[in-house]
Structures are given as structure tokens and as C-alpha cells.
Amino acid sequence: MTRLHADRIIFQPQSDDSPFPAFRDVAGAAIAEQPLTDEQRGALEPGQQFRSGLTALQRLEAAGFAADPLLTPFSREVLDRLTDAEVDLLISVKELLKSAQDGALPLVTGEMLDSGPWTASQRLRGKMRLILPLIFAPNRALFSHLQLARQYPMWALTIYYLARNFLPLMETALARAQALADTDPVAAGTASYLKQHIEEERHGAEGYGEAHLIDLAVFGVDPAWARRQPLPLTIATLVGCHYDWIIQRHPVAIFGFLEVAEGYPPSVAEIEDLIARSGLPRAGFDLLFEHADLDVSHRDELHEVLDGLSMTPEQEGILGLSALRTVELMSKSFWEALEESVSFGGATAP
């Protein structure tokens, strides 16, 4: 049994084959010492009435996450707004999070923001803080890799695989947003931003990953060979689920992908450290240096756009799910890059 100290509710886990082992859903009739009242259920935000009748915080605590007994108002708002799908995702990666945080599962939502109302971008960043250790862990492993000079080209190739789908995803989101724009103000705002951002990304065909191939060639990667490679399964999964969300749910989902792809660029100091540790040619890091500054401005522009959109709870939920899933799958793809061999179609990295 799992005891939730906050409200004294006790739940029995489901059977071993259940995808939600930490709680029983409504159909499974949660066994509660003190079940939620109708008034408590009614107080939940739209979209927050979970299968179990629990709040996001209660579900996460039941799964082993540890909340500060004195949660800040900002943290509570971030956690209260998590959708069922977002909580499912966090629970599904909890063992990975524990590995990245020395066995701990703290519910850390970011800086202390004492007073609201809080914006959509602040809430999104708060959600991101719950899962960001998954991104930082492979980065640390890269910097300490015993064969960094041989392994970094595979890491850079992974970035290329992501980059060559960057522009096509945005173009799909733009087309869908424009189709909805007449009757959907959130789609109209999404289309307005994407139209401008796509033009910026098209310079030098960067949005299709071609600029990354110039840097990769410095490391001995044949551009023609790289273009022929099928996407690794993890990256194909990431791209595929975004096409589905953009078309079937709402094009605002693209912003969750962009938040991760452009929101956490390496600093110039980190790139300099990477060059010094690896001994690789500086010319192979040109695009990384360019984006160290450029992506920061893109992130700030994206946050302004998000804060100007009057998103519904469902739209904000798909935005958050997109960002969380992107972190999960990008992290997995970079771990895979650290384990791959580095022979590139006959050429070998230095």
C-alpha cells in the first residue's frame, strides 16, 4: 500500500501489468481511507480530474517523488496544472530521474516566484525543471568521456538528425495553424510567430540541417553519407509524435519542442571547455558558437509569444507534454550517441 501523508489517503497498487502501478483509476475503484469529496474534485482545474481522482501532486508523491512540505505558491500552481498525460510521463521516467539525481526524486520547479499571476512561459519552465536532469546527465557524461575526441562526432551527428527535421516540423505546424487561424486565436498567434521564425531558420538551409554538415565534415563525416542515414528510432519517435500532436491535437505543440531545442544552449565557456578537453579542430564548432547567443534570443522571443497566447488548459497541457517528451527522448538519443561506434561510411573521426 502507498500512504499519502498529506491527506491520509491510502491506495492499493494495481496489478503488475497495469501501466499505472502507483494508483487505481476510477474504474478500479480507488480504495481510500478518506476519499476526495465532491467539493474537492470540483475544485480541480479543468482537465485536472485524474482517473484516480487524485491531484498531480498526490499521484507523484504516491509514485515516490518527494515534495517540499512547504511548497511555494508557484510550485503548487505548476504541479496543480499538470495533466494526466504529463504525470504519466514523469512517473514513467522516474528511475532515469533517480539515476540522474543520485537516487533522489525531488519535485523542483525552479526559482522562487513569490507572487502571481504567473505566465504560461513561467509555468512551462517550472514543468521543465521537473525533468531537466535527464538532459544534463548525458551532457556531463560527454564531458568526462575517456574517448571524447572519438565520441563527440557521433554526438554532433545526433544534433544533425534533430536539426534536419526542425524546419519540416515548423512548416507542418505553420500550415495547420493557418488552417485554424480564422476561428482559433491561439492558432493565429502560433502561425504569426512560426512564419517569422521559419524565415530566420531558412538562411543557409540551416533548418534542414545542412549547416551542421559543414561542421561534421571537419570531423571526417561525409555529408552525403550523413544525408542517406535513416533517423535513429528514438529521434524518429520524437519527430513522429510531434507530427501527430500538431495535426491531431493543436499546432501549439511545436512550441514545446522549440522550448527544449532552443531553450538550453551551451554557453561559450562550455564550448571552449569541450574544445580543450577533446582537442578537436575549432572549426567543427562554428555552429555551436553561433547558437550559444542566438538561441538565447530565440528562447526569449518564444516566451513572449507564449505569454501573449490565451491558451486553454488542454492547449497548455499539450504544450507541456511536448516539452517533457522532448526532454525524455532527446536525453535517450544522446545516451545512445555515447554508446555508438564512430565509423562514418568509411571515414573515421580523428
**pLDDT for 16 beyond 60:** no
Residue 45 confidence (pLDDT): 44
CB 201 within 8 A of CB 170: yes
The count of C-alpha atoms lying within 13 angstroms of the C-alpha of 29, restricted to the half-sphere facing its C-beta, is: 0
Looking at the structure, do residues 77 and 141 belong to the same domain, yes or no?
A: no
Which band of pLDDT confidence, cut at 50, 70 and 90, is reported for residue 348?
Answer: very low
**pLDDT for 24 beyond 80:** no
Comparing C-alpha atoms, which of 90, 77, 83 is closest to residue 47?
Answer: 83
Instruction: For residue 29, tell me if it sits in a domain.
Output: yes
Looking at the structure, do residues 257 and 323 belong to the same domain, yes or no?
A: yes
Residue 51 confidence (pLDDT): 55
**pLDDT for 104 beyond 50:** yes
Looking at the structure, do residues 16 and 165 belong to the same domain, yes or no?
A: no
Q: What is the pLDDT of residues 277-319, one digit of tens each?
A: 999 999 999 888 887 776 677 788 999 999 999 999 999 999 9
Looking at the structure, do residues 107 and 159 belong to the same domain, yes or no?
A: no
Looking at the structure, do residues 255 and 164 belong to the same domain, yes or no?
A: yes
Q: How far is CA 15 from CA 6, 18, 22, 63, in A?
A: 25, 6, 10, 15
Q: Of 57, 87, 117, which residue sits at a domain end? A: 117
**pLDDT for 169 beyond 90:** yes
Instruction: For residue 43, tell me if it sits in a domain.
Output: no
Which band of pLDDT confidence, cut at 50, 70 and 90, is reported for residue 31?
Answer: very low
Instruction: For residue 44, tell me if it sits in a domain.
Output: no
Residue 199 confidence (pLDDT): 84
Q: Of 84, 117, 150, which residue sits at a domain end? A: 117
Range of the domain at 151: 133-348
Residue 68 confidence (pLDDT): 75
Residue 254's domain is classified under what CATH number?
A: 1.20.910.10
Looking at the structure, do residues 69 and 194 belong to the same domain, yes or no?
A: no
Looking at the structure, do residues 176 and 84 belong to the same domain, yes or no?
A: no
Instruction: For residue 207, tell me if it sits in a domain.
Output: yes
Looking at the structure, do residues 148 and 211 belong to the same domain, yes or no?
A: yes
Residue 350 confidence (pLDDT): 44
Instruction: For residue 103, tell me if it sits in a domain.
Output: yes
Higher pLDDT, 40 or 298: 298
User: Over the chain, what is the mean pLDDT?
Assistant: 80
In Å, the largest CA–CA distance within the chain is: 67
Contacting residues for 334 by C-beta, under 8 A, at least 6 apart: 135, 138, 139, 142, 155, 158
Torsion of CA 78, 80, 86, 92, to 10 degrees: 100
- Give me the sign of the Cα torsion angle 288, 289, 292, 297: negative
Checking phi first, is residue 210 left (phi over 0); if not, alpha (psi -120 to 50) or beta?
alpha
- Tally of domains in the chain: 2
Instruction: For residue 12, tell me if it sits in a domain.
Output: yes
Question: pTM to 2 decimals?
Answer: 0.81
Candidate from 69-83, 156-170, 202-216 with smallest mean pLDDT: 202-216
CA distance 341 to 350: 13
Which band of pLDDT confidence, cut at 50, 70 and 90, is reported for residue 36?
Answer: very low
Instruction: For residue 315, tell me if it sits in a domain.
Output: yes
Could you tell me how many residues make up the chain? 350
Mean pLDDT confidence for 126-135: 90
Looking at the structure, do residues 78 and 191 belong to the same domain, yes or no?
A: no
What are residue 343's DSSP bridge partners? 348
Looking at the structure, do residues 231 and 306 belong to the same domain, yes or no?
A: yes
Residue 180 confidence (pLDDT): 97
Mean pLDDT confidence for 11-17: 34
Cis upstream peptide for 117 (omega within 30°)? yes
CA distance 54 to 284: 50
Q: What number of H helices and E strands is found in the chain?
A: 17, 4
Instruction: For residue 200, tell me if it sits in a domain.
Output: yes
Looking at the structure, do residues 111 and 139 belong to the same domain, yes or no?
A: no
Residue 343 confidence (pLDDT): 58
**pLDDT for 22 beyond 60:** no
Looking at the structure, do residues 153 and 90 belong to the same domain, yes or no?
A: no
Q: What is the pLDDT of residues 47-101, one digit of tens each?
A: 444 455 788 888 998 898 887 776 788 888 888 889 999 999 999 999 999 888 8
Mean pLDDT confidence for 184-196: 96
